[in-house]
Structure 1
Amino acid sequence: MKSNYKIKNYMKAILLAIIIFYGNTMLSACKKVNDVSQKDLPAKTYYVAVDGDDTNNGSIEYPFKSINYALSQALAGDSVILRGGTYVEKVKFPKSGVLNRYITLKAFKGETPVISGQGFGVFGSEGLITLSSVSWIILEGLEVTNFKTTTGSAIPDGILVNGASSNIVIRKNRVHHIEHNGDPATGRQAHAIHVIGNSTSPIMKVIVEENEIHDNNTGTSENLTVNGYVMDFVVRKNKIYNGENIGICVAGGYLGNPNKAFNYARNGVVADNEIWNIDGSTGPVPALANHGAIGIYIDGARRIIIERNKVYDSDRGIGIVSENDEFPTESCIVRNNFVYNSWLVGIYLGGYENYTGGGTKNCFVVNNTLYNNNRILGPEGVVEGEIRLTIGCFNNVIKNNILYARADKGVFINKQNAGGENNIIGNNLYYTTGTITNWKWDAISYNNFNDWIAASGDSNSLFGVDPLFVNAAAYNLSLQASSRAIGVGQINNQEGTTDFFGNPRTKNGLISIGAHEVHQ
């Protein structure tokens, strides 16, 4: 009897094992079928129109009315197409696509759908369009506007990406009149496009391209912001203008993420953008009233490439600066940019004296063309310079730049503060049509080029040589074929593969000074 009992239990154990094995096999098979269904189902297209109805089937003949309802129906690979008209709706993506099968929300060809926040309140940090912890999403061709508040604690965003999102494309949208119009003393922040990595997993592989961003009241915030735990991103070919504060900001140290190790953006590219009329004096924030805004601002981020951008008629051109202790702007490259006609400095490195100690470390400023910046005196009553270094500058390289100073200012490089070390200067071209020439090193001013060389260690630079722009008066800063800037720079392996115009960066093994390489 005991033997039969053991046999029965043994048989039960075998049967149970078989059931578990086949059960797990079936579950695995179901999961694979589900994955296959997501990947292999034929893509559907749903249409939305202002005169549609959510009881329709979403076809072009019978469109839905609500964007959110259409998105709730979409699966990986599907597209939601918006017909022209104004949609007063806060839009939030409810689900993700899968590998290489995006969920797409975009405009009907030739029509302009407008997503408006007219009449909506803003609660906390909130987007008119929100992508939160979703992946494989495309947002294309929409007009996003009229999301406004006066509530001090509220932060309106036109397009908000947060959480652990990845593989996001934000393309060819027009974002304007996203506004915080409250009292600056109680807080005043807004963003046109805001990518904030506030999760323990990074936001990855975000592309923000070919958008038009203008006429936003962002207060102390920025028009296009990448902040916190964000990596492997690209911001390119955007036009940003008429802003009361920073055009593009890539940041760290602003409590975007509670974990200090995660709290800065990294490994990104800011390229081929055009930025103009970023003017802090147009807004009510006191700190910006004296033209304190910056066109492209890398603030406490690391390993960012800033290349082939055109920044003009703004307060300051490009800043690789840090406002936060323990978050230096580090290992960044500013190359092949045109920066001209700024109210203050063209390119800015360092930290803020008596404010923070983050500074700028291990960065390259190479092959840029700076022209006629410093329209007015800076807040300290001094000319900030075509290139300015303040506190906390260590191990930076400034080479192969054309610095064409305004005739009535004549300040080329201004190392405004003593301190920092191992900052290398060389192979630049300094020119002005005026009689004033000035450099500053460790807070000491030099009017004589040889004295400047002795103080700074500048090597192989040209002084008093006209770079021969094609048409400086019209801001065509290309080089004429006879320019002495051609072929006399120093190759440093940080200059990139193309010049501002997309031509090969070197010619016959030589490199020119400035952002333009002449190829004829």
Structure 2
Amino acid sequence: MQTESRYNPRTPGLMRLALKAVAASVLCLCITAASHAAEYYVAPHGNNDNAGSQRAPWRSIEFALRHAHAGDTVYLRAGRYREAVRMPRSGSRENGMITLRNYPFETAVIDGSGLRVAHGEQGLITVADRSYVRIQGLQIANFHSDDESVPMGIFVTGAGAHIELIDNHISAIETRKSGCDGNALGIAVYGRRSDAPLRDIRIAGNEVTRLKTGCSESISINGNVTDFEVVGNAVHDNNNIGIDVIGHEGMARDPAVDIARNGVIADNTVYNITSSANSAYPDGEMAAGGIYVDGGRDIVIERNRVFANDIGIELASEHGGHATRDVVVRNNLIYNNRSVGLSIGGYAPDVGGTVDCRIVHNTFYKNDTAMSWGGEVVIQYNARDNVFENNIVYANAQAVFINYYVDSTTQPLSSDRNLFYTEAGRYAGQWQWRAKHYDDMGGYARVSGNDRESLFGHPRIASARYVPDFALRQQTGPLVVPRGRNERALRDTGYNGRRADTTDFGAYEYY
């Protein structure tokens, strides 16, 4: 019986990515060496009666893909292609991937203007039950629905393996149906089969922007999906969740595998994600997360810049009796988000929660710009046995640091060895624990048992408000140099390559 590989979230994500890169390089060599590999060309001025060569290109992408086999590449020349395409076959391990991509240094746009969504849901590119497929370097835009049908930029569904979505630009995918009956997605990866997963999925270097997704997400990984990477993407200016990893939603029929798992979300930039003008949210509610794990498990979230969203990072489950589990959130910059920097736990007593997650070595900076008393860290319902250590938590003028505003579980979060600061001063800090308010760190620590070895001090972070690259604005050393606990010197955001003898607070190493 074939067993599923299990990614250990405590193994550095960098090592995993490096191994993947080596494997990809070997695969590329195999593709290059394949004697039968062919190149086909498509152009807006082409003709399907041509030979499909560079000098005599075809007109239709779908027509070209019907001719492509394992190891082949279909190049799209510059221009607009008004068609939705479906990958007709798989590549293979032996002969390589089938690649659909732009011709180098040219802009090829798959344009959904005037197209209707077929079969209730459709991507401008659909990959259904296929393996060894690469989609690269394309612009995918202008696909919308006025009813309950679901338009998508790239739609990967069913089961399969070794699928790469690389360096694409996806924009203007929209639902125009009001309320939560309207859904659209930039990239959707739906593991719908119980007998086999979608595995070894790589989503890298894409820009996903200007989406109106209704009740759905910009990038969604949902159901029976394992061993995935979402790395180096820019996700911004969309009206619902940026990157979402989902379990227990009924995507796969077998509940045992209906969980997106064993993944890495790294080196992404996620910003301007807000539901404030989304009709699926009542009264302008600002509740869209930049990065959200909704019932997923065994995931590393590291080295991301997450800012100007409603919620920076959220770990929760919307389904009663289930939880987001074994997620590591480390070395992220989480700043200037509108409602809260980090949220753990379900939004109501009868939904799921957050269990055995570790939030370590992150920098939180002036979140809750709406001054809604969400603060830097919010704890909600059904959170248990989570760890919050070695973080910098730099609050705004409200000075709301940790906000456990409900009384759901006795110890939802074990917190210590953090560095807290607010410009309002040491005695302006606001804490809530089990629905009771404390206006000093000592009182909160005595009652909760948390943060007894944490410090209050200025970490010398300069203002990030107008600075795209937060890393350039953090100084070389804090006024206090705290030591971290039980964490090796990981490759931090902005790491300068020198060896660290000890670890410390936040998403940078200090020397």
User: TM-score normalized by structure 1?
Assistant: 0.87
Larger Rg: 1
* 1:518 match: 510
* 1:412 match: 401
2:32 & 2:482 partners in 1: Cα distance? 55
Whether 1:491 and 2:486 are equivalent positions in the alignment is yes
* 2:285 match: 290
Q: Is the 8 A contact 2:145 2:175 kept in 1?
A: yes
Secondary structure at the counterpart of residue 57 of structure 1: coil
Give the one of 146, 154, 161 matched to 1:166.
Answer: 161
> Deviation string for 1:212-254 (max 9, x for gaps)?
1100110010000000000000001100111110000001122
Higher mean C-alpha deviation, range 260-269 or range 473-482:
473-482
2:153 & 2:476 partners in 1: Cα distance? 45
* 2:9 match: none
Higher mean C-alpha deviation, range 157-166 or range 462-471:
462-471
Per-residue deviation at 1:428? 0.6
Q: Is the 8 A contact 2:178 2:214 kept in 1?
A: no
Q: What pairs with 1:209-358 in structure 2 (closer than 5 Å)?
A: 209-287=204-282, 289-354=284-349, 356-358=350-352
* 1:372 match: 366
Per-residue deviation at 1:66? 0.7
* 2:19 match: none
User: TM-score normalized by structure 2?
Assistant: 0.89
Whether 1:385 and 2:381 are equivalent positions in the alignment is no
1:125 & 1:337 partners in 2: Cα distance? 34
Whether 1:469 and 2:461 are equivalent positions in the alignment is yes
- What amino acid sits opposite 1:146 in the alignment? N
* Matched length: 473
* 1:204 match: 199
> Deviation string for 1:63-105 (max 9, x for gaps)?
1111111111111111000001100111111111111611111
Secondary structure at the counterpart of residue 160 of structure 1: strand
- What amino acid sits opposite 1:81 in the alignment? Y
Q: Is the 8 A contact 1:142 1:172 kept in 2?
A: yes
Whether 1:48 and 2:42 are equivalent positions in the alignment is yes
1:44 & 1:71 partners in 2: Cα distance? 12
- What amino acid sits opposite 2:122 in the alignment? E
1:228 & 1:439 partners in 2: Cα distance? 37
1:491 & 1:233 partners in 2: Cα distance? 27
- Name structure 1 gaps, 5 residues minimum: 1-35
- What amino acid sits opposite 2:243 in the alignment? I
> Deviation string for 1:26-65 (max 9, x for gaps)?
xxxxxxxxxx999943311001001111111111000111
1:107 & 1:132 partners in 2: Cα distance? 21
* 1:11 match: none
Sequence identity (%): 35
2:497 & 2:295 partners in 1: Cα distance? 31
* 2:185 match: 191
Secondary structure at the counterpart of residue 331 of structure 1: strand
Per-residue deviation at 1:411? 0.4
Secondary structure at the counterpart of residue 148 of structure 1: strand
Secondary structure at the counterpart of residue 282 of structure 1: coil
1:163 & 1:505 partners in 2: Cα distance? 45
2:41 & 2:86 partners in 1: Cα distance? 17
- Name structure 2 gaps, 5 residues minimum: 1-29
> Deviation string for 1:476-508 (max 9, x for gaps)?
355423314545121336x7x310125569711
Q: What pairs with 1:28-47 in structure 2 (closer than 5 Å)?
A: 40-47=34-41
Cα distance change, pair 474–491 in 1 and its aligned pair in 2 (3 A): farther
2:216 & 2:257 partners in 1: Cα distance? 20
How large is the Cα RMSD of the aligned pairs? 2.0
Q: What pairs with 1:40-119 in structure 2 (closer than 5 Å)?
A: 40-99=34-93, 101-119=96-114
Cα distance change, pair 288–430 in 1 and its aligned pair in 2 (3 A): farther
- What amino acid sits opposite 1:397 in the alignment? V
Whether 1:430 and 2:420 are equivalent positions in the alignment is yes
Q: Is the 8 A contact 2:79 2:108 kept in 1?
A: yes
- What amino acid sits opposite 1:197 in the alignment? G
> Deviation string for 1:178-237 (max 9, x for gaps)?
11001216x011100000000121000000011011001100100000000000000011
1:460 & 1:89 partners in 2: Cα distance? 61
* 1:26 match: none
Q: Is the 8 A contact 2:295 2:325 kept in 1?
A: yes
Secondary structure at the counterpart of residue 133 of structure 2: strand
1:284 & 1:63 partners in 2: Cα distance? 44
2:480 & 2:133 partners in 1: Cα distance? 45
Secondary structure at the counterpart of residue 201 of structure 2: strand
- What amino acid sits opposite 1:164 in the alignment? A
